[in-house]
Amino acid sequence: MLGKVIKHDFKAMSKLFIPTYLVFGALVILDALMNLVNSQIPNHVKAYGIIPVFTTLTDVLMFIGMILIIAISPILSTVCFYRSVAGNEGYLTHTLPVKRSIIVTGKMITGFLYSCISLVFVFISSLIYLFICHHDTSMEIISSIKNFFLHELKLEDFPVSVIVGFIIIILALIVQQYANVATYYCCVAIGQTNNTHKIIMSIVTYIAYTTILQILSSVFSFVMTAVLSNTSDSLNEFMVRNPEGFFLGVSIFALCLNLLISVLFTFICTKILDKKLNLT
């Protein structure tokens, strides 16, 4: 049943994401072609031509587009989530013969998948841009990376704890993407507890959450600085004697923290929606 929920939400979100990807993809190709044409123009002509101006403009637009694609992906998925649980589609969503936890989890997984797809899309678009504009340079970079992984990189040279630490860090980054989506969705769910200003309440909740998180991060940094100032010799000695263990410990902490946030916000979102069946 979870798979069906994800499949349905994936198709629903595609109505927002696919046009966004198409616009950005067209912008990347346009910028690449403009740079290609601009590179063929003699320098004494460039000073009086309009092509360099348009090339600079498309460069700026592509750079802004790369940032926006990554930044607005969780926002677009949150808009879809709001429509399906608090908008005109809310009634249909809450009358499905499916547990509320499955509905929420499915929607969060779908939002997480689109966030990952956006990152991959931006990466592939950048490769296409480099391949069109700087074909020789891009091929040299690809050849160097291929040579590094096939011939120079030897896993046996790294301690097992370092390899495990890198794997855990990658998992922590992946879970963090899910946690970000869960944060947006949870704020939307909390906003539904206000009967008059649901959207404003959701925005205020998110602002309050980020503010509290920044305060806690500052307090944590201050406390850790105070603690480390008294135990700096012991900590430095431990890091020198066992850097792999220190790195592994930090990796596990980051993974556990992101898992905790993901589970907590998914639970809160589910419980709120359980008590608020009619969200329209």
Confidence band for 73, pLDDT divided at 50, 70 and 90: confident
Identify whether the C-beta of residue 246 lies closer than 8 Å to the C-beta of residue 239.
yes
pLDDT value of residue 280: 45
Positive or negative CA dihedral for 61, 179, 120, 166?
positive
- Report whether pLDDT(208) > 50: yes
Residue 97: Cβ within 10 Å count: 5
Q: Write the DSSP assignment of 189-220 as a string of letters.
A: HHHTTSSS-HHHHHHHHHHHHHHHHHHHHHHH
pTM: 0.74
% of the chain beyond a pLDDT of 70: 76
In whole angstroms, give the CA distance from residue 124 to residue 25: 10
- Report whether pLDDT(234) > 60: no
pLDDT value of residue 124: 86
pLDDT value of residue 266: 87
pLDDT tens digits, one per residue of 155-199: 666 667 667 777 888 888 888 888 888 888 888 888 878 777 878
In whole angstroms, give the CA distance from residue 106 to residue 5: 6
pLDDT value of residue 36: 79
pLDDT tens digits, one per residue of 95-133: 666 777 788 888 888 888 988 899 898 888 888 888 877
- Report whether pLDDT(251) > 60: yes
pLDDT value of residue 7: 83
Helices (H), the chain: 2-40, 43-46, 51-86, 90-94, 100-133, 135-147, 160-191, 198-241, 243-275
In whole angstroms, give the CA distance from residue 196 to residue 246: 50
- Measured CA to CA in angstroms, residue 26 lies from 47, 72, 127, 131, 279 at distances of 27, 18, 14, 15, 38
Output DSSP code: residue 156. G
- Report whether pLDDT(279) > 60: no
pLDDT tens digits, one per residue of 41-56: 766 555 566 777 788 8
pLDDT tens digits, one per residue of 85-102: 766 666 566 666 677 778
- Report whether pLDDT(278) > 60: no
Averaged pLDDT, 259-269: 88
**Looking up tokens 């602002």, which residue turns up?**
207
Contacts of 163 by beta carbon, 8 Å cutoff, 6+ apart: 155
